[in-house]
Amino acid sequence: MSKKNLIAILAFFIAFAGKAQESSSPKKEFKIITVVESIVPMGLGRSRIIDSKAEVDASFFTTERTDGKKSEMKEVDRKDLRVDEMEETKLLNFFSATGINFQNIASNDAVISSKVNAMLIEGWTLAFVTSGVESDAGTADGQGIFITRMFFTR
């Protein structure tokens, strides 16, 4: 066998192995589910699980700065960022008229667990969770949310 043929055969096997590896590694997906739980008393707040159903390409809303100051961000219209396709699941507020309502918290836990279990059945894996709170700053505030983001992959 000539050196030329041997090189051609090796090149074929290397290319074939690369293609086989590409086709065997499935495309990864990433999904975020957001839970917003209101801490506004007496049912005045809005608590929800939000699941965006929209496919979005962030590059359409991204600009680059070359000198650190000049930005073309004004070219990006905020109304174009809004998505219309989402799933919204109602939850109860953390507070009632008398303070923390533990039954509401347990009810929310059951609904959130149901959502997470449905995601697991669909083949998603919970990768990590992050949360934050904007709490009531006193009698004049009357505002506040507890937000949790669950990051899923498959």
DSSP 70-129: ---GGGS-HHHH----EEEEEE--SEETTEE-HHHHHHHHHHHHHHHHHHHHTT-EEEEE
- What is the structure's pLDDT at 45? 75
Give the residue-averaged pLDDT of 9-23: 62
Answer whether residue 11 shows pLDDT above 60: yes
Amino acid at 151: F
Answer whether residue 31 shows pLDDT above 80: yes
Q: Which residue has the higher pLDDT, 116 or 12?
A: 116
Residues of the chain with pLDDT > 70: what percent?
A: 71
CB distance 50 to 33 below 8 Å: yes
Give the residue-averaged pLDDT of 117-141: 86
Give the residue-averaged pLDDT of 56-69: 73
- What is the structure's pLDDT at 35? 96
**Model confidence pLDDT, tens digit, residues 76-98:** 677 777 888 999 999 998 887 78
- What is the structure's pLDDT at 100? 84
What's the Cα-to-Cα distance from 145 to each of 35, 63, 73, 96, 112, rounded to whole Å? 10, 31, 29, 14, 16
